[in-house]
Amino acid sequence: MHTTSDKEPCGIITGVQRFSIHDGPGIRTIVFLKGCPLKCRWCHNPETQRFSPELMINFEKCIGCGACARVCKNHIIEDGAHSVIRENCTACGQCVAACPSALEISGKKVTVDEALKPVFDDIPFYREEGGLTLSGGEPLAQGEFAVALLKKAKEKGISTAVETCGMCHSDVLLRAAEYTDFFLYDIKETDGERHREFTGADNSLILKNLSLLSAVGARVILRVPVIPTVNDREEHFAAVGRIADENSAVCSVEILPYHRAGNPKYPKVGLDATEFPVPSREDSERYVSLVAKNTSKPVKLKV
């Protein structure tokens, strides 16, 4: 989190998606905050993992003109192949200004008002249900900025939601809860060691924070991805049902089958994508039934 003064927090966002119908009820405006403490191998927004702005290269759009290499020595074009020395890149943007087609910076420092402008512009479309959703990355990793966004949106009477992995400071989560109508809360893996293996951290803080949301009367929609070879186990989905039943904050559970839509973004930020099998609808519906057998909360498949 960055500040321009003691009164106005600033943050880094990767973009704003308007007129979404997938991240909460009604029409939502989604503000994507940059940075996440987890490194899920199936992440579909890899450009939001790092906490600072970074260069993205669309190699399919590179015409090999060499304009980037003329303004920055970190770009190398040899035999028609384009590479970049990423460890030396400061995301200054000079190469982006010179490039006609292939380069962009993921991550922009903005004020609260700048981030919320498209949200306020969309107020006429929200009606009874729509509103602001904070996503990422992990939005609560930029705690002061995220809380300020939620607070100002609520002051305008806008419905607010936070999409979170739960891997955040508990005090930030509770402050955010004061201005959040509901949380879209990820439960990626119920086994702590497997959670560490595939995301880089165990799930103890995530489960603790979920119980804290129950203690303060928050509203939570549990979101559970189906990742074949990672969490496609009967005991995992049965445990999800028990977690839902044990936490009064949980209103419902959504099962989300894995997809590969984010994989093309990995090489753009210098990362290698891991491809997992895509679950069949039949298997996904079976996991819905497993969760439903272990909870009284509504469970649905969300594709």
Q: Are the C-beta atoms of residues 254 and 244 closer than 8 Å to each other?
A: no
Rounded CA gap, 14 and 80, in Å?
A: 30
DSSP state of 258: -
* pLDDT for 1: 53
| Cα separations in angstroms, 193 against 154, 176, 198, 240 | 38, 29, 9, 16
* pLDDT for 6: 56
* pLDDT for 147: 99
- Neighbour count for residue 193 (Cβ, 10 Å): 10
Output the tens digit of pLDDT for each of the chain's 303 residues. 554 445 789 999 999 999 998 888 899 999 999 999 999 999 999 999 999 999 999 999 999 999 999 999 999 988 878 999 999 999 999 999 999 999 999 999 999 999 999 999 999 999 888 999 999 999 999 999 999 999 999 999 999 999 999 999 999 999 999 999 999 999 999 999 999 999 999 999 999 999 999 999 999 999 999 999 999 999 999 999 999 999 999 999 999 999 999 999 999 999 999 999 999 999 999 999 999 999 999 999 998
Say if 2-51+107-301 and 54-106 have the same CATH topology: no
Specify the pTM. Answer: 0.93
Extract the tokens encoding 117. Answer: 């402008």
Per-residue pLDDT of 12-33, as tens digits, reads: 999 999 999 888 889 999 999 9
220-226 and 182-186 beta bridge pairing: parallel
* pLDDT for 5: 46
DSSP string, 35-48: --S---TT-S-GGG
Per-residue pLDDT of 245-274, as tens digits, reads: 999 999 999 999 999 999 999 999 999 999
- Neighbour count for residue 170 (Cβ, 10 Å): 13
Residue ranges of alpha helices (H) inside the chain are: 67-71, 94-98, 112-121, 123-126, 143-155, 170-177, 192-199, 204-215, 234-246, 281-293
The architecture of the domain spanning 54-106 is: 2-Layer Sandwich (3.30)
Q: What is the residue extent of each domain of the chain?
A: 2-51+107-301, 54-106
Q: Are the C-beta atoms of residues 132 and 29 closer than 8 Å to each other?
A: yes
Q: Which CATH class is domain 2-51+107-301?
A: alpha beta
* pLDDT for 286: 98
